[in-house]
């Protein structure tokens, strides 16, 4: 696996790549812009070029993440337009920064029901991929199922991909906390879960993993990340997931609660220790 964590680009993209390397990351994730806002700046060409050169020099894999505020299933036409325009910019920035994909959460049906929410999401994605014609794939992230979130099952993620006009431009990102909270898997049955994910055409298009423990129990449908081994997935669960051969070569990014980015270092050491038997 290519282990890493979430890194801020507030000091510029080049500085973010330097930080990731300094912390011992093999991959890292960054927000394309302020995660709570739609309006962001276009990528600075100098920073982008500098960052891309550093990625190559250090052999780092970068994963972009769109703002949380985006709802691919919104019934509000104005919000839909703002979301699409925002995501076009996210994908353009991610491409300029050399990211392997841009992660975006599955939509929220906001009371309209799953079927309608799925329809709207597919419609929004079709328009997005018509307007953004670049090379960066959009990676749909599974959700914990808070409120009216779609995407608690892998089946639903696969369904969206198969129903859009350009499925080859859509991939997936799997969050271990969300999947656990949504009861999509149990850590003790991880290999059977991966097997199932392969059989329905999910794992083949999985481009990144968000590695987080969960502050709430299996099936709680709460999206609250815990530090590795300190939540309900626990040490044994984390060891099982991290020992999986299915993680080979995969960017595995921590989004756990930390005070500073340096706090990711001991957690990454812990994760590598759990993984050792497989990669050795």
The binding site for Zn ion (CB under 5 A) comprises: 175, 210, 223
Tokens representing residue 206 in the block: 């999985």
Distance from C-alpha of 87 to C-alpha of 202, rounded to nearest angstrom: 23
Element (H, E) at 139: strand 138-141
Nearer to Zn ion, 47 or 73 (CB): 73
Least distance (Å) from Zn ion to the CB of residue 87?
A: 17
Residue 251 C-alpha from the chain's centroid: 10
Least distance (Å) from Zn ion to the CB of residue 15?
A: 23
Distance from C-alpha of 173 to C-alpha of 208, rounded to nearest angstrom: 5
Element (H, E) at 132: none
Which residues, 6 or more positions from 10, have their beta carbon under 8 angstroms from its beta carbon? none
Least distance (Å) from Zn ion to the CB of residue 142?
A: 9
Class of residue 99 by CB neighbours under 10 A (exposed 0-12, middle 13-18, buried 19+): buried
Nearer to Zn ion, 109 or 210 (CB): 210
Residue number of the CB atom closest to Zn ion: 210
Nearer to Zn ion, 14 or 187 (CB): 187
Least distance (Å) from Zn ion to the CB of residue 144?
A: 7
Distance from C-alpha of 171 to C-alpha of 3, rounded to nearest angstrom: 19
Which residues, 6 or more positions from 243, have their beta carbon under 8 angstroms from its beta carbon? 274, 275, 277, 278
Nearer to Zn ion, 30 or 48 (CB): 30
CA Rg, the chain, in Å? Answer: 18
Nearer to Zn ion, 26 or 141 (CB): 141
Least distance (Å) from Zn ion to the CB of residue 69?
A: 14
Least distance (Å) from Zn ion to the CB of residue 210?
A: 4
Which residues, 6 or more positions from 76, have their beta carbon under 8 angstroms from its beta carbon? none
Nearer to Zn ion, 175 or 213 (CB): 175
């Amino acid at each position: 696996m290519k282990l890493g964590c979430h890194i801020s680009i507030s000091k510029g993209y080049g500085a973010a790549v330097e930080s990731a390397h300094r912390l011992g990351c093999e991959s890292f994730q960054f927000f394309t812009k302020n995660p709570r806002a739609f309006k962001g700046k276009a990528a600075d060409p100098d920073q982008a070029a500098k960052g891309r050169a550093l990625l190559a020099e250090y052999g780092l894999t970068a994963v972009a993440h769109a703002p949380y505020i985006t709802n691919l299933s919104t019934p509000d036409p104005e919000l839909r337009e703002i979301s699409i325009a925002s995501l076009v910019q996210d994908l353009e920035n991610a491409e300029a920064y050399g990211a392997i994909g841009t992660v975006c959460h599955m939509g929220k049906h906001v009371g309209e029901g799953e079927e309608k929410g799925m329809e709207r999401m597919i419609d929004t994605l079709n328009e997005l991929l018509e307007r953004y014609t670049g090379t960066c794939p959009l990676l749909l992230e599974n959700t914990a199922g808070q409120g009216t979130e779609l995407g608690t099952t892998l089946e639903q993620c696969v369904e969206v991909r198969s129903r859009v006009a350009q499925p080859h431009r859509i991939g997936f990102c799997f969050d271990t906390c969300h999947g656990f909270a949504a009861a999509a898997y149990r850590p003790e049955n991880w290999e059977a879960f991966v097997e199932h994910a392969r059989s329905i055409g999910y794992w083949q298009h999985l481009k990144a993993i968000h590695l987080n423990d969960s502050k709430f129990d299996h099936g709680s449908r709460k999206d609250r990340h815990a530090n590795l081994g300190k939540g309900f997935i626990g040490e044994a669960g984390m060891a099982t997931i991290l020992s999986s051969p299915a993680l080979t070569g995969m960017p595995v990014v921590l989004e756990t609660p930390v005070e500073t980015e340096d706090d990711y270092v001991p957690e990454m050491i812990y994760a590598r220790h759990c993984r050792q038997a497989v990669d050795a």
